[in-house]
Every structure is written in structure tokens, then in C-alpha cells.
Amino acid sequence: MSRAREFIPGVEKALKSRGEPAYRLAQVYNALCSGLVRDWEEATSLPKSLRAALQEEAPAAVLELTRLSRATDGTRKYLFKTHDGHLIETVLIPEKARRTVCISTQVGCPMACKFCATGLLGIKRNLKAREIAEQVFVAARDVWPERISNVVVMGMGEPMLNYKECLLALRVLNDADGFGLAARHIAVSTSGLVEKIRRFADEPEQFHLAISLHTPFEEEREEIMPVASRRSVLELMDAARYYVETTRRKLFFEYTLLAGVNDQPRHVEALAELLDHPLYHLNLLRFNWTDTGYAATPKREAKEFLHYARELGLSATLRPSRGQDIDAACGQLAAKDLRPQRATIPLSR
């Protein structure tokens, strides 16, 4: 149970202080990750006296769910408060048979991408593995008996700057004795940290990776993504090539279409030259409103961009925006500085 020891060290300490048998740790781990308990009284496999002790020493929930908002398209956004009073947001996207949870790894984000609302917040701290995974547990509990089918690490923060805790959380989500979600149903998005992309490629799990590209041109990328000044596009693509050749898995490139900025035919032509591997896939997304001064490429022009990309041989998709009316779409987390908004609905089991 080494994974459980890493994930819930405070619980293990409480169990040891009471002289509990070793198998109790596995029971507690299962209650959190599979039973989805948020109060130890719900963990009926544990003795009543132990439940009471754990309530005092190591609470089952480390995040407080303060608001749950629902969009007209069924998307849900969860506002959590951490033990030290910070706020983070998580999104659940229902689509046909899929239930995808978009989770956060940091309070705020240090990358300062100019079109992203979270980037305006700056960075407060990294989230612990349990805080990261618990976002999925809450969403899973909310939609029960339907199951979570996918997890994408595309919420608040740059996951590669919280590498250890993020990876531990993903391993718990993937663990057959934990949440039990297949690795290929988990994807991590990065703004393009070259060394961490290479490190991620060498991990044994089959997690997917997405790289935020947003323009193929060096100067433009540095303008909208300050992180780009650290490493060139060519260095980024060297790391991308290492990832696909090491893992033999498809690599996704995220591309937010910004009107008049990165949506011209010359961008498509440069992308066709840059994304020259059969395992590369371009995910296009129209900009979702944030108070950053950018505008979305019109739908017709976005479709023309997609058509031209495919015409030039690119594997590409234009993804729909979900949850815009509750500021839950890509780039919108913290769009209104996490102010209370819209109706609250009860959390169901």
C-alpha cells in the first residue's frame, strides 16, 4: 500500500497512533477513492470508534465544496475552498456517454498566458495530490450512478510545475485499488515545459499529453505566452518528437483561435510544416470570453481554418466550447475573479 501511504500520510499516522492493524490503511484508501466518502461516518467498513477518531484527526474531505453551478448544456462547475482559504475551480463536461472532469493543479497559475483568465490571478501555491484527486471524487459522487469516463488536467495551473503531486494524484486515479480509471482516459496539458515533457514521456503509465501551442510563430508565441521566451518553438518540437517516439502515443496540440492574431492562412501553412508527424493532432478551440482584450475567431472562419488544415494534411478537430454561460469553458476558470454567481444546486450521491 505504498501508494496509499504517499496519498494519505496523515491518515496513516492517525491509524498507527491508535495501533490499528495494517489492513485498515487499505480500507480507508478504498473508502476515499472508490467509496467516495466525504465524512468518515459513511465508511461503514470501519469500526465506529475509528470513524469518530478519524473525524477529529484526519477528515475525509480536504476540500470544501462551496458552490456548484450548472450550465444550460449540462456542464457543471465546482468551486472549492482549500483548508487555507484559497479557491479553485473544477469542471465536469457531459457529452453522450462521456463524463469528463477538468481538474486544477495549482491555486492560480504563474504562466500568465494573455488570453487566459486564470493567468490573471498569478500563483498562490501548488495543490497537494489529495486536493487534486478529490476534485474527481466529488464530481464522481455528484453524477453517481453514472461514471466518470475521462480526466483532463487542463484546469487552473501548470501541472508540470507541480509535477510530483500531480503525478501521484493521477496514479491514484489510475490505480485499480484506487479510483480505477484507465491511464489512456487521463490527459495532462502543459504550456510547453520542455524538460518536463521529456520526463513525462519516460513515465511508465500511458497517460496522454497535450501541448498548448496557439501559434507556430516564435515572436507571436512569446507575445501571448510568456513561457515561450524560455525555449524556442524548435526546442519544444524536439521534446514533442521525443514524446511520440518514446511512447508511440498520439500527442495533442491545443490551439485557441484568436481573431486577427493566430487565425490566418499563413498560420495554417506554418502548422502544416511544424506538425509533421502522424501521431500529432491539432485541437482547435475558439476563444472563450475573458476580460483580456481578445476576441473569438468567427465560427465560419474557424471552420475555414479547420478545412484548410485538413486540406494540407493535418489531423485536426474543432472542439465545441462547453459551459460558457457559467464561465466554465477553456481559459475561463476564474474569469470573474471567482465571485459568487448563478444558482447553487445540491450535491447528490
205 is catalytic: no
Cα separation of 267 and 271, whole Å? 6
Residue 202: burial class (beta carbons within 10 Å; 0-12, 13-18, 19+): exposed
Contact 69, 77 (CB under 8 A): yes
Produce one character per residue of 119-147: b if its CB has 16 or more CB atoms within 10 Å, e if not: bbbebbebbbbbbbbbbbbbbbbbeeeee
Identify the active-site residue in 33, 102, 166, 330: 330
* Contact (Cβ atoms closer than 8 angstroms) between residue 283 and residue 255: yes
Known catalytic membership, residue 6: no
The three cell numbers of residue 259 are: 481573431
Give the 3-state secondary structure of residue 241. Answer: helix
Residues 6 or more apart from 330 whose CB is under 8 A from it? 154, 256, 285, 288, 321
* Backbone φ, ψ for residue 123 (5° rounding): -120, 135
Question: Any idea how long the chain is?
Answer: 349
Q: Which of 12, 20, 89, 131 is catalytic?
A: 89
Give the C-alpha separation, 211 to 209, whole Å: 7
Beta strands (DSSP E) in the chain are 64-70, 76-81, 87-95, 98-102, 106-108, 123-126, 150-153, 186-190, 208-212, 251-257, 280-286, 316-319
Q: Is the torsion defined by CA of 311, 316, 322, 327 positive or negative? A: negative
Q: Which residues are catalytic?
A: 89, 330
